Chains A and B, each alone.
Chain A
């Protein structure tokens, strides 16, 4: 009997925590389903394109250039997505530390809506989190999930508007019924939680993954006990070094 296709790591005997394995399985199902602005086939194509980016000659040349915008060319893509979407996927995957607002405005001007853009970022983020963990463990990445049929919901939160980020977001006071539970109720949401709020389903899914692959928000600052096989200090050392390697100040 074959293994379910939407369960990453299901084929390996491993000490992965049950809650984390379940979160990964849920993510793989989530990625295969129709999203908010992209259908299931396009979302799975984004997963595949995120992996393809590592093989792109243009991305490699840009990464080595003093300015990524000094190098023109065509991405080595799988040909399943519009070129402007491929540009976003590849740039976010291969050179995140040099993403800039002028570049963001150019891809919006090039035909993507900001909602489509945020959903691409969300799908890429889910993929990178799981694939990077697989590399760390020395395992093959799971095969892309099988797309599910259906149309995107096209839900734009009524309270979303331009704020402190390049993309529109929802301020806590503007949360409507459709975004119930998106933000914590006992503290203001961090900007990273608001970053993808324009597409609430992506934000919800990603921060569920954060809870299991990192820590739940409520215990991040609870230093009275440890919640993982590595300590708070060890976790934060890893986080700080990864962010520095990615040249991410946040």
Chain B
């Protein structure tokens, strides 16, 4: 939802659906979005060679500081997701309303805590 809000601020349209499910063609409207998605997927994956490739590509595009911040965000959200899922918190009503359209389009509600109880 913050990605959508960011896009509105800069009058840009991001291919949210494709970005979320990893099916974007190109950068999904976000500078170096394709490299960022590939990096996130590689960090959470098990292919060290793919990770090295993704890391090098991201460093070339964004520099060492960009790589550090990208790695930090991937690490942080890999943790936040676990806090959310392990404590069974619900999505806040305002966030649910703001994301209803693409959650429906992408069938993301199958991931909801309520569906796992």
A and B: interacting chains? yes
Residues on A facing B (Cβ under 8 Å):
14-17, 20, 88, 92-93, 96-102, 104, 118, 121-122, 124-126, 128-138, 164-167, 190-192, 194-196, 206, 209-210, 213-214, 220-221, 223, 228-250
CB–CB B75/A237 < 8 A: no
Of B19, B75, B81, B103, which one neighbours A96 at CB under 8 angstroms?
B81
Q: How far is the CA of A245 from the CA of B69 in the complex (A)?
A: 19
How large, as a class, is the contact surface on chain B? Answer: 35 or more
* Contacts of B49-107 to chain A: CB distance below 8 A: 51-52, 55, 62-92, 103
The 11 sampled A-B contact pairs (Cβ below 8 Å) are A14-B68, A15-B64, A133-B71, A138-B55, A195-B83, A229-B69, A233-B30, A235-B73, A236-B2, A241-B36, A246-B44
Q: How far is the CA of A137 from the CA of B69 in the complex (A)?
A: 10
A-B contact count (CB 8 A): 251
CB–CB A242/B68 < 8 A: no
Min CB distance, A60 to chain B, in Å?
Answer: 11
Residues of A within 8 Å of B77, CB to CB, are 214, 238-239, 242-243, 246
CB–CB A136/B80 < 8 A: no
Question: A247 with B76: in contact, given A136-B71, A238-B36, A241-B41 (CB under 8 Å)?
Answer: no
Q: How far is the CA of A134 from the CA of B71 in the complex (A)?
A: 8
